[in-house]
Amino acid sequence: MYFGCDYYPEHWPEERWEKDARMMKEAGFNVVRMAEFAWAKLEPKEGQFDFNWLDKAIEILAQYNIKTVLGTPTATPPAWLATKHPVILRVNKWGIRTSFGGRRAYCPNSRIYRTYSEKIVSKMAEHYKDNENVIGWQIDNEFGGDREKGLCYCEQCAAQFRQWLKGKYETLDKLNQEWGTVFWSQTYTEWEQIPLPRGLETAHNPSLLLDYRRFISDSYISYQKLQIDILRRICPHKFITHNFMGLFNAIDYYKLAEPLDFVAWDNYPNLRFTGENKSSVKVSLSHDVMRGLKEKNFWVMEEQSGPSGWQCVDPSPHPGEIRLWTYQAIAHGAEGILYFRWRTSRFGTEQFWHGILDPSGTSRRRYEEIKKIGQELKRLGDKLMGLEFPREVAMLTSYDEQWAFEIQPNNPKFNYQEHFASYYQLLHAWNVPVDVISIQGDLSKYKLLIAPALFLINNELVHNLKEFVKKGGILIVTFRSGIKNWNNVVFDQPLPAKLNDLLGIEVVEYNSLSSMQKGKLELIYPEIEPLKGECDTWCDIIKCREAEIVGRYTESYYKNEACITINRFGQGSAIYIGTNPSPEIKKCLLRWAIEKSGVKPSFQADPEDIEVVLRRKEGKDYLFFLNHSEKSHQVKLDQSCVELLERREYSKDSIMAIEPKGVRIIYRI
């Protein structure tokens, strides 16, 4: 397993590097990532390259058996470049060009920027191609990761956007028709008339907005490809990855991941002031999303190792928490873990974004904790590599759907990601392993599929879903599905369009609820315990064609009308949930679907705040127990097993205690 940190030797005097390497070695590190922001150090003046310092750092680390992953430094163009060619800088939606001084300020479509990027990447590749201590590349850093989500509205983007549209629609007539530009007199007679969706007092055409999001996403993907092509040509034996950002969704991560050897991502579970304070469930979901990008294990290129913060300091990770996050990552598929960052910077924007060491560079609590993890991982050797997931349940998503909902949330309370997470969370609570995969993924491996809010529908998706159910799968689809075609235009058929026969229903009317409003419903299907409850956000009023009623409203003008249905289709069944039921009702529905599909939870009956993750290898079941709480817990083991961290055996029915923030890994014997 690769285990290490993100290292910035250029921030510290050279005399210190040796000590750093020694301390890293003592912590069990075998890898660092370096140089991803070091363009100005590597090319201090245009065309003058200096790799000396980096060579030296790589060499010192290598003496301690620490390998290097090099970042291409394109996330931070140097001042000389931005001054000479201000057109490389992005323009925001109000037409203002960003200034030099932060990071990620470049336009991915800038020809000039691409040329300079090619130069620095080729130089680095040539310089390190035969260096065996450099094992791989990270391209750029966190594409899209800035306040504007990487969007650019400059003239170059406008010209490229029109080219992109020509490639997609071929003729203006087609574009006009697909976008419905007859509305508000927007018919285009020249390609040059098509605007970027810059700031407006009203709102742009939703089809234009969606295509613009796709275009910007494609721009980063093609910018990444430019670098990949160079690296593959010059360094065919080194791996290439990029550091993704979990649930971040400004770029089509499936496409971005495609040409990479594996996905890496940056995991900051606790950003109380600077961002979201993620629940442990959200962290697991993020890991599962990352694993689903290539349906393959991944790395964590930046794992939180201290309190974060730019302007304010976030709370510190509690004792045991860094270790818990590390094993949580491994449980969900990480095969490389690098902590961000080795030593907290004394200067620059991220002075408060703490690393393993504080600015004084002394070993303290966090270093000691990581060292302990290093010892454990060394002992475990390759045991935790190549673990597989059971692949019984999958949740489907796509970035097109996410963008369409960002453009039009449909209801102010509706948030696609929260909606998605509300289903994931229940599966997670029952220790049902979930894959999160693309709507274009191979569905045939699964028994149960959950496809929340398939707002946009295309024929391929409909076909795949039908095949899945026909062959015996259980599918759950939720409200606001089958509303629009792939160009963000509403269907002229009864809803959920194209899914009517699969779901056996017609949505005859809907009611979008205010944030204070609740609906009332009851479950009345023979296979489920009768239950009354509430729902919010949205109420579809459903006429069953072939489907049977599972739930109906008990109030309002649609009292007694169906809101939840099930339809037999081929060998399987398709369930439609036409509202957002309360957690109790959702629980009941999911439990029923799980039983119906024959899916088994990884582990029965454990305390709620213990996460249990099942992995498999060579016919053996591995179970990770992660205690996210501040309390110690006990679990009763259902089989005799070996515990890998404490190194002891447990007999069947014995009790395993797990301390607060503790971790256990067992395999059953």
Q: Enumerate binding residues for ligand GLA (CB under 6 A).
A: 141-142, 243, 266, 302, 340, 350, 353
Q: Which does 152 bind (CB under 5 to 8 A by kind): ligand GLA, Zn ion, none?
A: Zn ion
DSSP bridge pairs for 350: none
| Cβ distance to ligand GLA smaller for residue 183 or 347 | 347
CA dist 621 and 613 (Å) reads 10
Alpha helix segments (H runs only) across 279-358:
280-294, 321-331
| Cβ distance to Zn ion smaller for residue 107 or 574 | 107
Helix-strand-coil split of the chain, %, nearest 5 = 35, 25, 40
**In angstroms, what is the minimal distance from the CB of 263 to ligand GLA?**
15
* Torsion region of 180: left, alpha or beta (phi above 0 gives left; psi -120 to 50 gives alpha): left
| Cβ distance to ligand GLA smaller for residue 302 or 561 | 302
Contacts of residue 450, Cβ cutoff 8 Å, sequence gap at least 6: 393, 394, 395, 396, 423, 427, 475, 476
Q: Which does 240 bind (CB under 5 to 8 A by kind): Zn ion, ligand GLA, none?
A: none
Question: Token digits for 48?
Answer: 């003058």
154 near Zn ion, judged by CB under 5 A = yes
Determine whether 591 is exposed, middle or buried from the number of CB atoms within 10 Å of its CB (0-12, 13-18, 19+): middle
CA dist 554 and 663 (Å) reads 46
Q: Which does 43 bind (CB under 5 to 8 A by kind): ligand GLA, Zn ion, none?
A: none
CA dist 587 and 591 (Å) reads 6
Tell me how far apart the 2 most distant CA atoms of the chain are, in Å: 77
**In angstroms, what is the minimal distance from the CB of 349 to ligand GLA?**
8
| Cβ distance to ligand GLA smaller for residue 95 or 275 | 275
| Cβ distance to Zn ion smaller for residue 94 or 183 | 94
Q: Which does 154 bind (CB under 5 to 8 A by kind): ligand GLA, Zn ion, none?
A: Zn ion
Letter for the amino acid at 164? W
Residue nearest to ligand GLA (CB): 266
Nearest to 559, CA basis, from 534, 541, 577, 582: 541
**In angstroms, what is the minimal distance from the CB of 23 to Zn ion?**
43
Kindly state the number of chain residues that form the binding site for Zn ion, as judged by CB under 5 A.
5
Q: Which does 107 bind (CB under 5 to 8 A by kind): ligand GLA, Zn ion, none?
A: Zn ion
| Cβ distance to Zn ion smaller for residue 70 or 152 | 152
**In angstroms, what is the minimal distance from the CB of 234 to Zn ion?**
28
**In angstroms, what is the minimal distance from the CB of 88 to Zn ion?**
9
Q: Which does 157 bind (CB under 5 to 8 A by kind): Zn ion, ligand GLA, none?
A: Zn ion
| Cβ distance to Zn ion smaller for residue 164 or 405 | 164
Letters for 444-463 (x = contact with Zn ion by CB under 5 A, - = none) are --------------------
| Cβ distance to ligand GLA smaller for residue 307 or 662 | 307
233 is in an annotated binding site: no
Neighbours of 520 (CB within 10 A): 13
Q: Using the rule CB under 5 A, give the single segment among 26-34, 128-136, 144-152, 343-351 that binds Zn ion.
A: 144-152
Residue 128: its H or E element: helix 111-128
**In angstroms, what is the minimal distance from the CB of 243 to ligand GLA?**
6
641 is in an annotated binding site: no
Sheet of 334-340: strand order equals 239-241, 134-138, 67-71, 31-34, 2-6, 334-340, 298-304, 264-267, 243-244
567 is in an annotated binding site: no
| Cβ distance to ligand GLA smaller for residue 141 or 219 | 141
Q: Which residues are catalytic?
A: 142, 302
141 is in an annotated binding site: yes
Determine whether 43 is exposed, middle or buried from the number of CB atoms within 10 Å of its CB (0-12, 13-18, 19+): buried
Q: Which does 302 bind (CB under 5 to 8 A by kind): ligand GLA, Zn ion, none?
A: ligand GLA
* Beta carbons of 597 and 527 less than 8 angstroms apart: no
Determine whether 546 is exposed, middle or buried from the number of CB atoms within 10 Å of its CB (0-12, 13-18, 19+): middle
108-127 binders of Zn ion (CB under 5 A): 109
CA dist 42 and 120 (Å) reads 8
* φ, ψ at 514 (rounded to 5°): -75, 165
**In angstroms, what is the minimal distance from the CB of 350 to ligand GLA?**
5
Q: Which does 141 bind (CB under 5 to 8 A by kind): ligand GLA, Zn ion, none?
A: ligand GLA
Residue from 139, 157, 465, 593 in contact with Zn ion (CB under 5 A): 157
Residue from 42, 57, 88, 107 in contact with Zn ion (CB under 5 A): 107
Alpha helix segments (H runs only) across 318-457:
321-331, 365-380, 399-407, 416-429
**In angstroms, what is the minimal distance from the CB of 124 to ligand GLA?**
18
CA dist 448 and 451 (Å) reads 10
Q: Which residue has the tokens 């229903």?
A: 505
538 is in an annotated binding site: no
CA dist 465 and 473 (Å) reads 9
| 94, 106, 150, 454, 494 from 251: Cα distances, Å | 22, 16, 9, 19, 32
| Cβ distance to ligand GLA smaller for residue 338 or 577 | 338
152 is in an annotated binding site: yes
Q: Which does 142 bind (CB under 5 to 8 A by kind): Zn ion, ligand GLA, none?
A: ligand GLA
* Beta carbons of 535 and 519 less than 8 angstroms apart: yes
Letters for 379-398 (x = contact with Zn ion by CB under 5 A, - = none) are --------------------
Distance separating the N- and C-terminal Cα atoms of the chain: 24
107 is in an annotated binding site: yes
**In angstroms, what is the minimal distance from the CB of 302 to ligand GLA?**
5
646-668 burial, b at 16+ Cβ within 10 Å, e below that, comes to: eeeebeeeeebebebbbbbbbbe
**In angstroms, what is the minimal distance from the CB of 398 to ligand GLA?**
24
Q: Which does 289 bind (CB under 5 to 8 A by kind): ligand GLA, Zn ion, none?
A: none
CA dist 83 and 568 (Å) reads 65
Q: How many CA atoms lie within 13 A of 462 on its CB side?
A: 19
- Which residues of the chain form contacts with Zn ion (CB under 5 A)? 107, 109, 152, 154, 157
Q: Residue ranges for the binding site for substrate?
A: 103, 141, 310
Q: Residue ranges for the binding site?
A: 103, 107, 141, 152, 154, 157, 310
Q: Residue ranges for the binding site for Zn(2+)?
A: 107, 152, 154, 157
